[in-house]
Amino acid sequence: MNSEIHDVIARALAEDIGAGDVTTNACVAPDTQAEGYFLARESMVLAGCEVLQPLYDARGGARLEMLRENGSHLSEGDRIANITGTARTLLECERTALNFLQRLSGVASLAHEYASQVEGTKCKVLDTRKTTPGLRRLEKAAAAAGGVVNHRMGLFDAILIKNNHIAAAGGVRQAMDRARAAGVPIEIEVRAIDELHEALDSGADHLLIDNLSPQQAAEWIRLVAGRAKVELSGGIDLASVRNYAETGADFVSVGAITHSAPAKDIAFRLRLV
């Protein structure tokens, strides 16, 4: 497990438990044993399973039995996992575990909806950096579990030259020339036909085309004529993603997959043993 994820888990537990779970400590004897299970209360694509064991380990440990894995398609009533341990540990971790599972399964489920809409085309759906601060690795893992392709993880692993970079560099060609020295993949945003031609003339092999209608995007893609990969973004939703995919684009990127995914309904049930 990545140390970054351990840190996320530690912060999540600390903000919920703080100095101690006063309700559980007041009501439940320390040596009380219990078992519980996680239950899907609606259809979903599951994500966040990798968080559960280290989360319980951080509060003294529990025996976890995963019944499903990330990317599993669940129906209402499906069990996700069984857990056995002290009642105090299970109760302390309940809300944090559910928060992770519900949020990440929401991302995976929405990702699956987008990926399903473009089936049969050559187009792939990309996620973006529009993630919850601190949860990017988990949310991108959830998006991948739902069937979309992870775009760059951050500002450090690929170059995406956007309109403000172009303005700051003094133009498309200047930005491209300077970016090559970094030795990492380069993508450049173009917002006008003259920028499109300049980017292609400068050797761009991945173009980001933003805020066009599907009809306009198809015209621009015909001008590109296979000389570069084309990614479309801006205003693409579930109702329109198929139309954009059918323009001949190689990719569509959708920020909503991570910034607007609704949480899924998952319950936790506990009983004494």
Q: 108 with 45: CB under 8 angstroms?
A: yes
Clarify whether 187 is annotated catalytic: no
Query: Around Cβ 192, how many Cβ atoms within 10 Å?
Result: 10
Residues forming a β-bridge with 114: none
CB 109 within 8 A of CB 264: yes
Pair type for strands 79-86 and 33-40: antiparallel
Catalytic one among 41, 129, 130, 137?
Answer: 130
Residue 15's alpha-carbon distances to 19, 20, 25, 222, in angstroms, are 9, 10, 17, 52
Tell me whether strands 63-66 and 33-40 are parallel, antiparallel or unpaired: unpaired
Which among 41, 79, 95, 178 is annotated as catalytic? Answer: 95
Q: Give the C-alpha separation, 237 to 57, whole Å.
A: 39
Residue 183: count other Cβ atoms within 10 Å of its Cβ: 8
Alpha helices in the chain (DSSP H): 3-17, 22-27, 49-57, 87-117, 136-145, 163-169, 172-179, 193-201, 214-224, 241-245, 256-259
Of the listed 137, 162, 173, 178, which one is catalytic? 162
Give catalytic status of residue 162 as yes or no.
yes
For the record, the structure tokens of 176 come out as 């491209």
Instruction: Report the candidate in 131, 135, 68, 140 with the shortest Cα–Cα distance to residue 96.
Output: 135
> Which residue of the set 210, 227, 246, 265 is catalytic?
210
Task: Tell me if residue 130 is catalytic.
Answer: yes
Query: DSSP state, 40?
Result: E
Distances (CA, A) of 55 to 81, 215, 257: 14, 48, 25
Q: Name the catalytic one among 139, 189, 195, 231.
A: 189
Instruction: Point out the residues that are catalytic.
Output: 95, 130, 162, 189, 210
